Amino acid sequence: MLYHSTSKKAPAASLQEAVTRGLAPDGGLYMPEQTGRLGDDFFKRMYDMDLQEIALEVAVHFLGGDVPTGDLKRMICDTLDFPVPLVHIHDKLYTLELFHGPTMAFKDIGARFMARLLGYFTSRDRQELNVLAATSGDTGSAVANGFYKLPGIRVFVLYPKGLVSSIQEKQFTTLGENITAIEVEGTFDDCQAMVKRAFADEELNRRMKLTSANSINWARLLPQSFYYFWGVAQMGRSADDIVCAVPSGNFGNICAGLIAKRLGLPIVHFIAATNINDIVPQYLQTGRFNPRSSVATIANAMDVGKPSNFARIAELYDHSHQDISSDVEGFVCTDRQILATIKEVYANRKYLLDPHGAIGYRALKSYLDGHPSETGFFIETAHPAKFTEAVKNATGEDVALPPNLARFADGKKQTVELPATFDALKNYLNSEKR
């Protein structure tokens, strides 16, 4: 299958080109030429299949022409070797817990699959690949752990010194092997600007093959569609009309859900739930898409002022505001409402939400209150122990550190310190290239 850019100015690309480039040369995001639909027989069998079996059929639908099924099967079994349970909370309200992976956030799934798909191409072609990622926390840990020890791939994670929580920092600075953590004397925006310049620098790109691991990569987006099918399969054949609420920042996660719907998955409606960075909810109401600087909130993995995957959603719906807003509605949540929700759901339902999931819960609860004949699940994107401070503020109790996170605590931090300039990064990368 070929991939085209949402900006329509770059030539069509093969799968390998699309996923090793990440961003198209015209600045657009790659989309498959066709989405198509999965067959009716799949939707009959789906309820009796497990997560890996479902994921394989969806992966073959998109990637089957480019990667042998046996290799896809191996990638999926390696990526999804942890449970993704649908948990009942109350009444007809459920959550799909995506936080049982190695860094306890849903980004594990996209990062692990992307790592294995790139690894397939580099080992087949005996290439070396260098992944650059700027992070304010979650992306760096998911990407570093996803690519850890993969042959032929080196990873450089840039992060702002002193501005990442210590649990998060440990998750990508203690690994060693093919993972290098670069501590930048600047902000997250500085890190991102350095990475962007690196991709645009011809001389550097002649010397080393560079790729980006952020959420604009198709290889990270596609595997996120798998779990929507699995969520619906766990609801069962006889469930009422299903709605799904997705806590959203860059809108990759919900975009994958909308792709699943396009393939025929019976989810009647999506709710795009954001913190006060409500660019997309505003668009859904007014038809005007006005990106602006992000504002810091306690659901900080969703502090995004220019949601990059929105370009894919717009294209999926042929830029029709009417069509998008008939499938998706927005919901906005303040920090106070997040804290109140964590507190209330913990007290009354004995379920501990993280700040991102709390936004999803509140959005779904409010929707279901007005639509009693429907049922739904929201996506829980991170384990509450990743956001101990906010959760303790809400409930007054400490959150125990689960073993997956505790195992990083004793590791030794190893970093390279650089000033926040592109020249410093370029010199460092050049000195690393043997």
The residues binding ligand PLP (CB under 6 A) are: 105, 107, 138, 215, 247-253, 301-302, 356, 381-382
Residue 191 DSSP SS3: helix
Token pair belonging to 144: 């570093």
Shortest distance, position 44 Cβ to ligand PLP, whole Å: 30
Q: What 3 state SS string does 106-160 have?
A: CHHHHHHHHHHHHHHHHHHHCCCEEEEEECCCHHHHHHHHHHCCCCCEEEEEEEE
Shortest distance, position 343 Cβ to ligand PLP, whole Å: 19
Shortest distance, position 185 Cβ to ligand PLP, whole Å: 25
Nearest residue (CB) to ligand PLP, 56 versus 272: 272
- Contact criterion met (CB below 8 Å) for 382 and 104: yes
* 284 membership: H or E segment, kind and range: helix 279-286
C-beta atoms surrounding 165 within 10 Å? 15
Nearest residue (CB) to ligand PLP, 28 versus 110: 110
Token pair belonging to 247: 């806590």
Shortest distance, position 123 Cβ to ligand PLP, whole Å: 28
* 332 membership: H or E segment, kind and range: strand 328-332
Name residues whose C-beta falls within 8 Å of residue 423's C-beta, 6 or more positions apart in sequence.
none
Nearest residue (CB) to ligand PLP, 159 versus 251: 251
Q: What is the CA radius of gyration of the chain?
A: 21
Closest CA to 391 of 382, 365, 379: 382
Shortest distance, position 120 Cβ to ligand PLP, whole Å: 24
Please state, in angstroms and rounded to a whole number, the distance separating the CA atoms of residues 223 and 33: 17
Shortest distance, position 138 Cβ to ligand PLP, whole Å: 4
- Contact criterion met (CB below 8 Å) for 4 and 12: yes
Shortest distance, position 422 Cβ to ligand PLP, whole Å: 25
Nearest residue (CB) to ligand PLP, 257 versus 376: 257
Shortest distance, position 168 Cβ to ligand PLP, whole Å: 10
Name residues whose C-beta falls within 8 Å of residue 386's C-beta, 6 or more positions apart in sequence.
99, 104, 105, 138, 167, 168, 354, 405
Token pair belonging to 118: 């790139």
C-beta atoms surrounding 71 within 10 Å? 14
Closest CA to 430 of 144, 185, 203, 213: 203
Nearest residue (CB) to ligand PLP, 42 versus 226: 226
Nearest residue (CB) to ligand PLP, 130 versus 215: 215
Nearest residue (CB) to ligand PLP, 394 versus 420: 394
Nearest residue (CB) to ligand PLP, 251 versus 346: 251
